[in-house]
Amino acid sequence: MNYLSAVAIGLLVLGAACTAPVEKASIRIEPIEGPTPYTSLDLNNDPSSFQFAIVTDRTGGHRGNVFEVGLSKLNLLQPEFVMSVGDFIEGYTEDEARLDAEWTEFNGFIDSLTMPFFYVPGNHDITNKVMYDKYKSIFGKDYYHFVYKDVLFLCLNSEDNYRGSGKGTIGDEQYEWIEKTLAANADVKWTLVFMHQPLWNQQAETLRWPDVEKLLEPRKHTVYVGHHHSYVKYERNNGKYFILATTGGGSRLRGPRFGEFDHVVWITMTDNGPIMANLELSGVWDENVVTEQSSNYFRPLFNGQPVRVSPMFTDGSTFSNGATEIRLTNDSDAPMDVSFELAANKYLTSSIIRQSLTIAPNSVEILPLKLSGKAASVAALEPVALRGTVTFHGEGMADITMDVTQNARPAKKEYLAKSATKTVDGNLDDWASLPFSETEMYTEANPFSHKGGKADGSVRFGISCDDEFLYIGADITDDELLAVASSRPYNQDAFQVIVDGRSENISSFGTSLSGVLYIGMSPYVDGTNNTTPFTSGNKPEGLKGITVKTDKGYATELAIPLSYLSEQQGGDWKTARINVGVNDFDNDYSHRTNLWWQPDWRGAGSYPGSGTFFRK
């Protein structure tokens, strides 16, 4: 698009602003008496409002295909037009052939837009006389204005003396034009200013910019610039001034909190000023983000675990070194790229630091992994975190990348030995010991943990079995019981058990409640014994449980039929993966603490094989 096109568009939008007012469209709806299934019929469709977008810096160390993706997503969003703040080409040259090539490339990108685009020059576009003349020959003017729906768009050239980065200016000639333009449009409802460099916080002399600010100060106005590749909002000079981030320009991309992200800006212009939304490019997708074809191809792969750290079981209470493996599984018909790192911690180092490799279609690759460190308690160890990505290359489809996270650390082997049959009555006298205690528990508090320590909430529990049942007995200390019969256990004080009865090679990697047995039991505050375990999953026939209120809290006993484990494992059972937890609510449900014996399998701290009991 050349300057003449921009002028033509400016005249069209100016004409649109001068037409007779348009009434708001109304909605026709069937008569409804009494309550209505809607909040209002006052539609948000003020004809004086409109929407446009802004793209920001593409160059200054540009990253390929980002700006182009941004334009394609603007075509999805369909703004009325697109503004800019400069730095379209790399520039910084007097080689006209190179400049021609760079402008031809850039304007080829703009040709893909299905709505008007308005150019504003940056220092990469104009840095010397040759570049200035080239810009003028292509676009006709380096500063201009238009009015649309009573809003003045002031497109300025902060490079009018082409002094380069950090040395932007507004010269006398441009200032005089700005003064006349503002005077001729004194009654617009808002003024929007677009230029490249943020002249208000520049150390070098900006010539007439302070005078421009004096002209803007009494007006309702907003200023948009780029240049710094890092987003910042300012409130100054009776207006809002924005330095935008990037649409492909050089950036460390540390995220929105650092102001470093690729985005387009979406503006809804209202009578009360612009409403602004920063749309990260990674969050704008077209209707083909998932198709039936891609879902059928990729979803089974995602449902599996392409990167899996095998359990490292240990019999002892201390650990200094051990071996396991990382299994890389590609169940697709195309290559799979895997890249990951393992981060050492104060307890453990790994034999693998980082890996990047391609796994052939329908194949498995196994990487031996060793963990070592000074001898330490198994319970005190921190996992070695594996973090990386897996990319699937489906034929005829765009590549799909997924993040992978795994934890590698030793899992203490627990054993289920036969014991005497327990009477499930809430009396724990027939338990020789309750060996597992709160000292081994993982605490997850919301919004804060127990202020009173063990007196606030703690648990001791034991696990045993006879020929028919797996028994769990627990003594829970709780200084404030909050539980009612009408509420489910996980919404109040409760003892919780999760049992994964599947074979060890499956249960070790469980990360959800899918396919497992959840049991919850809450104490009734009126002293009535609770004999009805709440379950999710397939409730085993013959499951028994009781919760009894005690002087210090409550006691719980459960009997889970061993036939459940045999059914899950398709024969004689060998293992059971178990986690035990306590919900503790206090202050009239105002805060909640979760205590888990092992890290919650659904959380980031979980590791393969935790809480696995082996049959003796």
Burial class of residue 502, CB neighbours in 10 A (0-12, 13-18, 19+)? buried
Looking at the DSSP bridge assignments, the partners of residue 323 are: 370
pLDDT at 285: 67
Q: Are the C-beta atoms of 324 and 371 separated by less than 8 Å?
A: yes
What would you report as the CA-atom Rg of the chain, rounded to the nearest whole angstrom?
A: 33
Q: Indicate the range of 212-216, 282-286, 305-309, 585-589 predicted with least confidence.
A: 282-286
How many Cβ atoms sit within 10 Å of the Cβ of residue 362?
Answer: 12
Confidence category of residue 207, pLDDT binned at 50, 70, 90: very high
pLDDT in tens, 49-62: 999 999 999 998 88
pLDDT at 539: 86
Q: Are the C-beta atoms of 84 and 247 separated by less than 8 Å?
A: no
232 pLDDT above the threshold of 90: yes
Q: In angstroms, how far is CA 122 from the centroid of its own chain?
A: 33
Section 372-391 average pLDDT: 92
138 pLDDT above the threshold of 90: yes
4 pLDDT above the threshold of 50: no
523 pLDDT above the threshold of 80: yes
**3 state DSSP class of 7:** helix
Section 337-356 average pLDDT: 94
Q: Are the C-beta atoms of 534 and 556 separated by less than 8 Å?
A: no
* Region at 488 (left for phi over 0; alpha for psi -120 to 50; beta for the rest): beta
* Region at 538 (left for phi over 0; alpha for psi -120 to 50; beta for the rest): beta
Q: Which residues, other chains included, contact 233 with Cβ-Cβ below 8 Å and sequence gap of 6+? A: 240, 241, 242, 243
The beta-strand segments (E) located in 255-335 are 263-270, 273-280, 307-309, 312-314, 318-330
pLDDT at 152: 98
Q: Please give the torsion angle defined by the CA atoms of residues 190, 191, 192 and 196, in that order, rounded to the nearest 10 degrees.
A: -160
Q: Considering only CA atoms, which of 83, 178, 90 is closest in space to residue 126?
A: 90
pLDDT at 442: 61
Section 570-580 average pLDDT: 95
Structure tokens at 339: 């890249």
In the chain, what percentage of residues exceed pLDDT 70?
92
pLDDT at 14: 47
Q: Which residue has the tokens 């150019």?
A: 119
Confidence category of residue 68, pLDDT binned at 50, 70, 90: very high
pLDDT at 440: 52
- Average pLDDT of every residue of the chain: 89
Structure tokens at 495: 């003892």
Domains along the sequence of the chain with CATH: 3-17+47-283 (3.60.21.10), 292-412 (2.60.40), 414-615 (2.60.40.1190)
Q: Are the C-beta atoms of 232 and 257 separated by less than 8 Å?
A: no
φ, ψ (nearest 5 deg) of residue 201: -120, 30
pLDDT in tens, 477-491: 998 898 888 788 988
Q: Please give the torsion angle defined by the CA atoms of residues 169, 175, 177 and 180, in that order, rounded to the nearest 10 degrees.
A: 150
pTM of this structure: 0.60
Beta strand pairing call for 151-155 and 190-194: parallel
pLDDT at 290: 65
Section 361-371 average pLDDT: 96
pLDDT in tens, 409-449: 999 999 998 899 999 999 999 998 899 875 555 655 444 45
Section 354-383 average pLDDT: 94
Q: Considering only CA atoms, which of 549, 541, 517, 521 is closest in space to residue 533?
A: 521
Bigger pLDDT: 454 or 607? 607
pLDDT at 245: 95
Q: Are the C-beta atoms of 133 and 161 separated by less than 8 Å?
A: no
| Max avg pLDDT among 196-205, 253-262, 294-303, 520-529 | 196-205
What Å distances lie between residue 401 and 299, 368, 406, CA to CA?
12, 25, 16
Confidence category of residue 454, pLDDT binned at 50, 70, 90: low
Q: Please give the torsion angle defined by the CA atoms of residues 563, 565, 567 and 572, in that order, rounded to the nearest 10 degrees.
A: -90
Section 557-583 average pLDDT: 95
What Å distances lie between residue 26 and 47, 257, 536, CA to CA?
12, 41, 49
6 pLDDT above the threshold of 90: no
Q: Are the C-beta atoms of 411 and 608 separated by less than 8 Å?
A: yes
Structure tokens at 21: 């007012």
Structure tokens at 593: 């603490």
Structure tokens at 404: 């992978």
Q: Which residue has the tokens 């499956």?
A: 506
pLDDT at 156: 98
**Can you say whether the dihedral through the CA atoms of 495, 496, 501, 503 is positive or negative?**
negative
pLDDT at 19: 47
**Cα–Cα distance for residue pair 172/175, rounded to 1 Å:** 5
pLDDT at 450: 55
**3 state DSSP class of 183:** helix
Section 194-221 average pLDDT: 97
554 pLDDT above the threshold of 90: yes
pLDDT at 219: 98
Task: Give the total residue count for the chain.
Answer: 616
